[in-house]
Amino acid sequence: MIQVTRKDSKESLENLLRRFNRKVQQSGVMARVKQLQYFEKPMSKVERRKRAIVRQERKVIKMTKIKMGQRY
């Protein structure tokens, strides 16, 4: 449970909300919730690794295209 309290009575609500959002993001709660939002079929380690390798290769190709000015 993430709790944020006011530092003093003069602290604005915007600052309090900003500190709360930062703590939530750093804790990884939202990332975990988004990940569990949809059911994903169980996958073997080998299959996960293969997909990760493909993702990395696509990212490298995309970045080289961007550097060469072929893609926005």
Of 6, 27, 25, 2, the closest CA to residue 15 belongs to 6
Question: Do residues 2 and 27 touch, judged by C-beta distance below 8 A?
Answer: yes
pLDDT confidence of residue 37: 92
* Contact (Cβ atoms closer than 8 angstroms) between residue 2 and residue 23: yes
Query: For the whole model, what pTM was predicted?
Result: 0.49
Summary mean pLDDT of the chain: 90
Distance CA 50, CA 43 (A): 11
Query: How does pLDDT run across 18-55, given as a tens digit for each residue?
Result: 999 999 999 999 999 998 998 888 889 999 999 999 99
